[in-house]
Amino acid sequence: MAKATEISLTLEDRNGLERTVNSSRSEVRDAFRAKIVLLSAEGKSTAAIASKLGTSPQTVSLWRVRFAREGIAGLRDRPGRGRKRTYTADKVEAIVQATLTSKPEASSRWSTRQMAKAMGVSHTTVHRIWKAHGLKPQLVR
């Protein structure tokens, strides 16, 4: 078994981590990560920390190593997490503008399928965009 990464804290780091843990305004994930680091600095084993906090040893090891490499900044989420947007903001704006300012040929209002065909996207995408922007072209104003 590999030896756990040693954590030593400066007074400033310790105070910052304790503030994060004790603050009611801290995000839960930030407080959780700060607890891992504080317990690591006390010399607790990875397994003991994982057991105490109800998480896996791999999670404890991840945050221990990130803190050792990057300090408190390493405990923050990295950018670029999650699924990337399929359509750009310009495409969404074009769909919204077309919905508000134009009418399809041979019809008095847009349907999701007509708009999707005109804009080159799926009808479910048009539906999501309309819903997000509160657009209801089927209702006459």
Instruction: Give the pLDDT confidence of 87-138 residue by residue, as tens digits.
Output: 999 999 999 999 999 988 888 899 999 999 999 999 999 999 999 999 998 8
Helix (H, G, I), strand (E, B) or coil at 121: coil
Instruction: Give the pLDDT confidence of 67-93 residue by residue, as tens digits.
Output: 999 999 999 988 887 788 889 999 999
Residue 24 CA to residue 118 CA, distance in Å, equals 50
Question: First CA to last CA across the chain, in angstroms?
Answer: 70
Q: What's the pLDDT score for residue 77?
A: 86
Lowest-confidence segment of 1-5, 36-40, 82-86 by average pLDDT: 1-5
pTM of the predicted model as reported, rounded to 2 decimal places: 0.60
